[in-house]
Every structure is written in structure tokens, then in C-alpha cells.
Amino acid sequence: MLSLADIEAARDRVSDVALHTALESQRTFSRMSGADVQLKFENTQRTGSFKIRGATNRIRTLSAAERDAGVITASAGNHAQGVALAAQRSDVDALIVMPEFAPISKVNATESYGAEIVLYGADFADAQEKAHELAAESDRTYVHPYEDQAVQAGQGTIGLEILEDCPDVDTVVAPIGGGGLISGIATAIKAGKPETRVIGVQAEGAATVANSLNKDATNELDSVDTIADGIATGAVGENTLPIIEDRVDEIVTVDDSETASAMVLLLERVKTLVEGAGAVPLAAVLEERFEYGEDETIVPVLSGGNIDLNLLTTVLSRGLVDRGRFVKLRTVMKDRPGALEDFLSIVANSGANIYEINHDRARQSFAIDATEIEMDIETRGHEHVEQILEDVREAGFQVEVRT
């Protein structure tokens, strides 16, 4: 099983490529939770995620013959970029198979690190099957994102940095997809400070580990549904599951709304962008998915910051709604001069910003002398929304919140 010695050796191999990322105390989240929250900013790592650590360690353990043959992997995102840059920095040829519909931004980023790209198949499973075929034909070494012990050891260097920068850490919180990241972190933490807890977090729509523990086999989901695509693996690894069972203290889940809210908070309060997988550890803390004491030192690992801009737009909108910063209102009023002005003046006097209004007289579900109004409003929080609703209802308008 993965050992501390493996991780310490990995640190020496990756130190000239992977950054020692910052770990900083955050007053806002400490106040919100009552704990001492210190964030590990792995989203600022080269290529935008922790993956460069494991990929570099694996490539630098290749034999001379394996180096000459090159490496190959399949990925639609962070692992592709990590392998590409790690190979470039080690002067090894890399071939990356990505699904045909992979975001063009991620394809371009991977290509910019010097890798050859093959687009194949509709999803990751198709791309992975093709990558294994090409590996067999070319003698390239397949670099697995989490089932390879050298990859796990590289990810574990994050745990060494946490212990170095925050020796009083009580709890480390990390995301779980295939399990390579948390296997490495938990191994380092438990070896260096056994009393420190390690909490794993999964997306509710891709929760595989809880159903796999203590069964001696992984549990594979037929489908996954989450905005945290970096941990939407569908199954934890066969090699990582025993490490998780042995070294991870607790596994919890968060839903997409909670993840989106954490992403918005990180942007607003810390001025840092994280992807869904990178936000789930903080979401688990803020939503109190596990028990912790006052002033307990907790380190959530922000594992990555690579997110498609189209998805980011959706996530931000959802996060603002969940935090009461944006609301959609609907009302039906008499279609007479001044009615809309009366309604809008109440909203405006409350201090809300009216973002958009839709006015519909033609719908047949209400009286012919009535009109339906829908509006999007920027607000200051849930209490502000409730005050607006109270004010317009006291003025005689029937209003509802649209979701």
C-alpha cells in the first residue's frame, strides 16, 4: 500500500515542476463556520489543478525505454493538461485522447503544453478505450489518473505541504472522485500527524464511495449528475478504495446548489476561481456536513480552478439565487395605467435593483383585463427578499418567487 516514503520520494521528483501552493487563513469562512478555516490554494497550481503533481512523479519513474516510447492517457480536462505539461518538462512525448465534444478551451490548453491530441468518441469511456488500444500498438505507457501508485504519491505531496505550513491542523477536507488525491493526502497526513482527521467529500450526484466501503469491491454508478465534473468518475478506484477505508475518517456529500454557493463565495470574498470539484470541501465545511469544534483548524483543499466559462455562467446564477442575491418574481395585476408603476416603485424603494422585466397580456390562464409580470431582481440576501415580498403583498399584490 502507498507509504510515506513513496510520497517523500515524489516530493523530490516534482519540486522543480509543481508549485508549493499557498495555504492561508480566511477570516470570512472562519467567522461563518466558527472554526479556523485555512484554504489550500491548489487551484493556483500549474495547469490549474493538482494533477501536475501525480503526472510528473509517474513520468519521472519511467525506465529509459519507457521514456523513449512516450506516454499516453485519456482525459477531458485536468489530467490531460497535467500529463501534457509533465511530459513536456521531462522531455517525454505525450499523446492525449480526448472525447470529440471536449471543451475547446481544454483541448487548446492541453495542446499548448506540447502534447499530441486525438479526439475520439462521445465521452470519456470511448476515449479511454481508444487510448488503451493506441498504448498497446505503440508501447506507450498509460498514465492512469488515480489507479497508479506513483500518481497517488505525487498527489500526496499536498499533504506534506499542509503539515509543513499548518502543523496544528486538526482536519483536512479533500474531494473524492477516483480517489487518487485523497489517498495521497490521507497517507501523508496520517503518517505525519495520526490524530488529524481526513474528511472526503463527494458530489451528491456522483457519490460512489459510501456505497463501496466495507464491501471489498467498488460500486459503479450507471450515470452521474453533478456540476463538479472533476469528481464525476462514476466509481472509486480498486486500488484507492483500500487506502480510503484505512486512512480516511469520514466521507460526506454536498449537492450542486451548495457547491455553487461555495464557488460564488470564493469569488466574492477571496477573489479566487475554483471549479466544482475544488469547491466541495469548503461547501462541506460551511454546510456542517461533519462535526467540528469551535476554533478547530480545518484545511479544505481547493483542488482545481479549471471551469468552462459557459458552465461558470450557469453556476454563478445558481449560486446567487441560492444565497438570495438574485430572485425571480411573478405577479398578475389589473391591466390599467399606473398599476405596474405602483408595483415597481415598491421594489425600487426597497433598495433592490430591477434587472429585467417581462410583460405578458396574451396568456389565457388569467382574466382578460389582467396582465402577468415577471421580473429578475438583484437583492442583498434572503432577508432582503422576504422584506420585498412582505412590502408588495401588503400593497395588495399577489406575488410568488419563481425557481
DSSP secondary structure, 244-257, as one string? HHHH--EEEEE-HH
Per-residue pLDDT band at 125 (split at 50, 70, 90) = confident
- The residue-averaged pLDDT of 231-251 equals 91
Pick the more confident residue, 211 or 333: 333
Per-residue pLDDT band at 181 (split at 50, 70, 90) = very high
- What pLDDT was estimated at residue 160? 98
- The residue-averaged pLDDT of 59-78 equals 94
Q: How far apart are the first and last CA of the chain?
A: 48
Q: Which helix (H) or strand (E) holds 54?
A: helix 51-59
- Measuring CA to CA, how many Å separate 149 from each of 10, 19, 52, 243, 254? 11, 21, 15, 11, 28
Domain with CATH 3.40.50.1100 in the chain: 4-50+148-320, 52-142
User: How many other CB atoms sit within 10 Å of the CB of residue 259?
Assistant: 32
Which are the contacts of 92, defined by CB distance < 8 A and separation ≥ 6? 59, 62, 67, 70, 71
Stated pTM of the model: 0.88
Lookup: cell for 1: 500500500
Per-residue pLDDT band at 202 (split at 50, 70, 90) = very high
Question: CA nearest 282: which of 30, 6, 15?
Answer: 30
Spell out the SS3 assignment of 116-166: EEEECCCCHHHHHHHHHHHHHHHCCEECCCCCCHHHHHHHHHHHHHHHHHC
Quick check: 403 pLDDT over 80? no
pLDDT tens across 266-285, in order? 999 999 999 999 999 999 99
Question: CA nearest 81: which of 311, 309, 304, 302?
Answer: 304
- What pLDDT was estimated at residue 364? 54
User: How many other CB atoms sit within 10 Å of the CB of residue 218?
Assistant: 19
- Residue 148's Cβ-side half-sphere holds a number of Cα atoms within 13 Å equal to 21
Quick check: 215 pLDDT over 70? no
Per-residue pLDDT band at 13 (split at 50, 70, 90) = very high
Cα–chain center distance at 94: 26
Among the ranges given (101-105, 122-126, 174-178, 213-217), the one the predictor scored with the smallest mean pLDDT = 213-217
Lookup: cell for 139: 508501447
- What pLDDT was estimated at residue 131? 95
Q: What top-level class would CATH report for the domain 324-402?
A: alpha beta
- What pLDDT was estimated at residue 314? 85
Among the four given CATH numbers 3.40.50.720, 3.30.465.10, 3.40.1190.20, 3.40.50.1100, the one describing domain 52-142: 3.40.50.1100
What is the dotted CATH code of the domain comprising 4-50+148-320?
3.40.50.1100
Kindly give the pairing relationship between strand 171-175 and strand 370-378.
Answer: unpaired
Domain with CATH 3.30.70.260 in the chain: 324-402
Distance separating alpha carbons of residues 134 and 97, to the nearest angstrom? 9
Quick check: 316 pLDDT over 90? no
Per-residue pLDDT band at 370 (split at 50, 70, 90) = confident
The residue type at 344: L
Per-residue pLDDT band at 217 (split at 50, 70, 90) = low
Lookup: cell for 96: 492525449
Contact 376, 330 (CB under 8 A): no
Quick check: 80 pLDDT over 90? yes
- What pLDDT was estimated at residue 340? 85
Q: Of all residues in the chain, what percent carry a pLDDT higher than 90?
A: 66
Question: CA nearest 178: which of 281, 277, 287?
Answer: 277
- The residue-averaged pLDDT of 26-30 equals 96
Question: CA nearest 38: which of 219, 120, 161, 184?
Answer: 161
Per-residue pLDDT band at 363 (split at 50, 70, 90) = low
User: How many other CB atoms sit within 10 Å of the CB of residue 334?
Assistant: 11
Q: Share the mean pLDDT of the chain.
A: 91
Distance separating alpha carbons of residues 201 and 284, to the nearest angstrom? 7
* 81 three-class SS: helix
